[in-house]
Amino acid sequence: MGVRLASLLSVALPQRMSKEQILRVAVAAPLRQALDYLPPLGAAVTACPGLRVIVPLGARRVVGIVLDVVAASDLAPERLKRAIGFPDTAPVIPADILDLCLFAARYYHATPGEAVLNTLPAGLRSLPRSRIRAILQWRVTPASEALPASALKRSPRLAAAMAFLREQGPASEALCRLAGIGAAQLRSLESRGLAMSEPCVAATEPPPEAETASVKEHIPSRAQAAALVTLESHLGSFHCSLLEGVTGSGKTEVYLRLIEQALAAGRQALVLVPEIGLTPQTRQRFVQRFGARVGVLHSGLGDRERETTWNEAASGRLRVLIGTRSALFTPLPELGVIVVDEEHDGSFKQQEGFRYSARDLAVYRARRLGIPIVLGSATPSTESLANCRAGRFVHLELPQRAGKARAPSTRLLDIRGQTLDGGMCAEMIDAIGHQLGAGNQVLVFLNRRGWAPLLSCSDCGWMADCHHCDARLTLHKAADLLWCHHCDARIPAPTSCPGCHSARLLALGAGTERTEHTLQRQFPAFPVHRIDRGTMQGALAMDKLYGEIGTGEPCILVGTQMLAKGHHFPCVTLAAIIDLDGGLFSPDYRAAERTGQLLVQVGGRAGRAERPGEVLIQTLHPQHPWMERLLSGGYRAFIDPILAERETWGLPPFGHLAILRVESPRERSAIEVLADVKAHLRRRFTELDIVGPVPAQMARRAGRYRMQLLLRDARRAPLHAALEAACQLLDAHRFGAHERWQVDVDPLEGA
Ligand code: ADP
Ligand code: ZN
Ligand code: ZN
């Protein structure tokens, strides 16, 4: 574990000694092992872990990261390739981040290249050719001094290039070009060990004066004060706390004060938030408190901005960094506290490629650094609650809303047998009208984009299915498209049935687009803002909308779960939940937890200031036990029986799960590969519980059949050993061009 330093290894007895040290390099390729290279010729920089290095990989040149510097390689010296150069003079990845990445690679069974390079801003991960030219300068190597004058007689162009470099000293590629020396000659000299390139070093800026902003501060409530006493006592050592505070209880205020303490002690702070939709407001609150010392990282930024913020955090100029999942990997040399807000949120788990949980890795980072971490939520995950019970986390609670706000009242609307307009029953529409009339704002939630989730022919029963997935196409009326939300396939919306040519096509059900339309028709005097992935592209759109909502004028916000996450809309008094029933009957064992969290979070947007809030939930299943528990006893009454059930079945957080998934255009080959893996694991890991091969929840997506094995064990170690073995088998298997496989450790979906 950890980064092994070259000095520690010099005592090892290698089989093949080479005079030169060997660089062990992670590259962005699907290789489980790091690659060995000889160091660049005559490099002025001393190689060390975390340093970027440009290396040949097949016919390409790529950026890699030095993981280690060792005395010997398992490869024969003549098979070792030589690295081309170091673009920087110092490591871009400090030792603690490298350690975090390598731990993540082991834990999630990712390749070191994926884990290490994915964490860098794009600009540092790849060096486009023009960029290499721009930053490199060329000079002759010490070895070329010994070159006899006649050596390059047969290639006069190379001889001329050598002469120029000798005379000129270090020269940029542009200067060489002016002298008639092309890149081909330079590379040719490089390959003969006669010339080398090195980076032109850029100067770093001095940090500007820190600004302090003056904002009115609240007097902490008794619960806030109590939580702060505990949290402040943790500064300087590792403790993980769960701050469970009902929506609007002032968790953010607690984070701000804790961070203030950390900054006063000369430390930096890292705040992870779920999604971009949330950052404008959170950012504002932090900027108001801490001024220009705050930086923000999220997926909506361009590569340049991202790289700048990353550099400023790494240099220590920024004292507070707020960001989504990947911000976890930002170097912060003086990090003193980590906050993970809305810790239950699924977006902390990356669902593609390198499948890591930023929340869980944040706990690892805090532990290694010996600093406190706070996980905050109104609806804590089952994992964090179980960790509190086991005494691993400190449980802190804010049971009441802050200031004058009170908990909203919640009521179910039974829609069985009712006619719906834009997905809403008459009573719901009346309630919305009533609130608008009283000068209030209303939030309407439904977790479905587009106009309607189903287009069907009323004469022959045809339904618009995706040809590539086991899924229906969603009708998007404004774009006039049928759109698959799973593989992104889009086709023009038909005007007549492709089966029987009837014109009687029916759009069934409602998505945000249709509900928005209905609300506009019902309430023409009030603005309706739609908030979903279709309308909210980037932080700017959200910023602008916040401005409008902030005026407090009555209006309607209609949207998907983007609306549910941590927003503070003080003038919203009604949260209208149109459709949550889908979650009640999902086969996923986590569906209950997710649905309950979503319901409480959406409801929590109502009545966050002086005016009392109301939550109305439409349902076809008013007697469903989850609904009853949530309404009568709140989140705890809801989640406690779920935890008990998980314990009975040995499901997470009481057991450990992983998924091995194979996707293939041929269902049979996916099944066969997994059956082989299963047979192998069965022999070696007799205790391990293996289910499958079974179809994934969506058995076909984007033209590929998706089969999976579910692996479960009460203990982590045997599960990881089995995954290691399975990954070796899958690595060795020859997959077809359109086939792929994945491993998902601690999966949030699909189990
Ligand atoms: P949470 O993060 O728990 O949802 P917030 O921190 O957003 O809650 O707080 C909700 C509202 O209550 C905000 O407007 C905040 O300014 C206000 N608030 C927080 N703490 C206090 C307090 N001690 N007294 C009065 N108002 C407070
Ligand atoms: Zn038809
Ligand atoms: Zn599709």
| Residue to mutate, 252, 377, 379, 565, ligand 1, most ligand atoms under 8 Å from C-beta | 252
Residue 167's pLDDT is 73
Q: Which ligand is the nearest neighbour of the Cα of 604?
A: 1
Q: Is the pLDDT of residue 3 over 70?
A: no
What is the CATH class of 409-451+510-644? alpha beta
Q: How much distance in Å is there from the Cα of 197 to the middle of ligand 3? A: 48
**Contact indicator for 444, 560 with CB cutoff of 8 Å:** no
Residue 186 CA from chain centroid, whole number? 41
CB atoms within 10 A of CB 686: 8
Residue 174's pLDDT is 64
Q: How much distance in Å is there from the Cα of 471 to the middle of ligand 2? A: 19
Q: Which ligand is the nearest neighbour of the Cα of 499?
A: 2
Atom of ligand 1 nearest to the CA of 224: 23
Q: According to the 3-state scheme, what is the secondary structure of 267-325?
A: CEEEEECCCHHHHHHHHHHHHHHHHHHEEEECCCCCHHHHHHHHHHHHHCCCCEEEECH
Q: How much distance in Å is there from the Cα of 249 to the middle of ligand 1? A: 6
Q: According to the 3-state scheme, what is the secondary structure of 150-210?
A: CCCCCCHHHHHHHHHHHHHCCEEHHHHHHCCCCHHHHHHHHHCCCEEEEECCCCCCCCCCC
Cis peptide before 653 (omega within 30 of 0): yes
Residue 135's pLDDT is 46
Q: With cut-offs at 50, 70 and 90, classify the pLDDT of residue 43.
A: confident
Residue 630's pLDDT is 85
DSSP 452: B
Q: Which ligand is the nearest neighbour of the Cα of 491?
A: 3
Where are the strands (E) in 8-73, listed by range? Answer: 17-27, 35-38, 52-57, 60-72
Q: How much distance in Å is there from the Cα of 306 to the middle of ligand 1? A: 30
Q: Is the pLDDT of residue 133 over 50?
A: no
DSSP 124: H
Q: How much distance in Å is there from the Cα of 476 to the middle of ligand 3? A: 15
Q: With cut-offs at 50, 70 and 90, classify the pLDDT of residue 213.
A: very low
Phi, psi (5° rounding) for residue 130?
-60, -35
Ligand 1 interacting residues, C-beta cut-off 6 A? 218-221, 224, 245, 247-253, 402-403, 568, 608
Residue 2's pLDDT is 38
Q: Is the pLDDT of residue 218 over 60?
A: yes
Q: How much distance in Å is there from the Cα of 422 to the middle of ligand 2? A: 24
Q: Is the pLDDT of residue 587 over 90?
A: no
Atom of ligand 1 nearest to the CA of 247: 4
In this structure, the strands spanning 268-272 and 320-323 are: parallel
Q: What is the mean pLDDT of residues 525-540?
A: 78
Share of the chain above pLDDT 90, in %: 60
Domain spanning 656-745: which superfamily?
ACT domain (3.30.70.260)
Q: Which residue's C-alpha comes closest to atom 10 of ligand 1?
A: 248
Mean pLDDT of the chain: 87
Residue 454's pLDDT is 94
Atom of ligand 1 nearest to the CA of 255: 6
d(CA 334, CA 115) in angstroms, rounded, equals: 23
Q: How much distance in Å is there from the Cα of 472 to the middle of ligand 3? A: 8
Residue 134's pLDDT is 39
d(CA 690, CA 712) in angstroms, rounded, equals: 6
Residue 211's pLDDT is 45
Q: Which residue's C-alpha comes closest to atom 9 of ligand 1?
A: 250
pLDDT tens across 89-117, in order?
889 999 999 999 999 999 999 999 989 99
Q: What is the mean pLDDT of residues 661-676?
A: 96
Q: What is the mean pLDDT of residues 409-417?
A: 92
Q: Is the pLDDT of residue 314 over 90?
A: yes
Query: What's the angle, vertex CA 291, arms to CA 288 and CA 293, rounded to 5?
Result: 135
Q: How much distance in Å is there from the Cα of 347 to the middle of ligand 1? A: 24
pLDDT tens across 46-85, in order?
899 999 999 999 888 899 999 999 998 888 888 899 999 8
In this structure, the strands spanning 171-172 and 136-140 are: antiparallel
Residue 279's pLDDT is 62
Tokens for 242?
A: 């769960």
Q: With cut-offs at 50, 70 and 90, classify the pLDDT of residue 185.
A: confident
> What residues pair up with 244 in beta bridges, in sequence order?
377, 397
Residue 277's pLDDT is 61
Supply the pTM of this predicted model: 0.84
pLDDT tens across 633-656, in order?
889 999 999 999 999 999 999 999
Q: What is the mean pLDDT of residues 468-490?
A: 94
Q: Is the pLDDT of residue 6 over 60?
A: no
Q: What is the mean pLDDT of residues 296-313?
A: 87
CATH 3.30.420.130 matches 6-125: no
d(CA 750, CA 742) in angstroms, rounded, equals: 13
Task: Decide: helix, strand or coil at residue 221.
Answer: coil
Residue 10's pLDDT is 39
Atom of ligand 1 nearest to the CA of 220: 23
Highest mean pLDDT among 98-107, 148-157, 607-616: 98-107
**Contact indicator for 67, 3 with CB cutoff of 8 Å:** yes
Q: Which residue's C-alpha comes closest to atom 26 of ligand 1?
A: 403
Q: Which residue's C-alpha comes closest to atom 24 of ligand 1?
A: 403
Residue 359's pLDDT is 98
Q: Which residue's C-alpha comes closest to atom 19 of ligand 1?
A: 250
Provide CB contacts within 8 A for 330, sequence distance 6+: 97, 270, 297, 310, 313, 314, 321, 323
DSSP 664: E
- 214-398 and 409-451+510-644 have identical folds: yes
Q: With cut-offs at 50, 70 and 90, classify the pLDDT of residue 122.
A: confident
DSSP 561: G
Q: With cut-offs at 50, 70 and 90, classify the pLDDT of residue 7.
A: very low
Q: With cut-offs at 50, 70 and 90, classify the pLDDT of residue 508.
A: very high
Tokens for 119?
A: 């964490």
Residue 728's pLDDT is 93
Q: Which ligand is the nearest neighbour of the Cα of 494?
A: 2
Q: With cut-offs at 50, 70 and 90, classify the pLDDT of residue 202.
A: very low
Tokens for 549?
A: 């909502």
**Contact indicator for 71, 15 with CB cutoff of 8 Å:** no
Tokens for 680?
A: 């192998």
Tokens for 551?
A: 């005026």
Atom of ligand 1 nearest to the CA of 253: 6
| Residue located via tokens 């106009």 | 451
| Residue located via tokens 């949260």 | 575
Q: Is the pLDDT of residue 287 over 90?
A: no
Task: Write down the CATH number for the domain with range 214-398.
Answer: 3.40.50.300
Task: Decide: helix, strand or coil at residue 258.
Answer: helix
Residue 539's pLDDT is 59
Task: Decide: helix, strand or coil at residue 77.
Answer: helix
pLDDT tens across 380-407, in order?
999 999 999 999 999 999 998 888 878 7
Q: How much distance in Å is there from the Cα of 504 to the middle of ligand 2? A: 8
Q: How much distance in Å is there from the Cα of 613 to the middle of ligand 1? A: 16
Residue 178's pLDDT is 63
| Residue located via tokens 């069934």 | 508
Tokens for 351?
A: 């669902």
Tokens for 378?
A: 């109104």
Atom of ligand 1 nearest to the CA of 254: 6
Q: Which ligand is the nearest neighbour of the Cα of 497?
A: 2
Phi, psi (5° rounding) for residue 452?
-150, 140
- Write down the domain spans for the chain: 6-125, 136-199, 214-398, 409-451+510-644, 656-745
Q: What is the mean pLDDT of residues 206-222?
A: 60
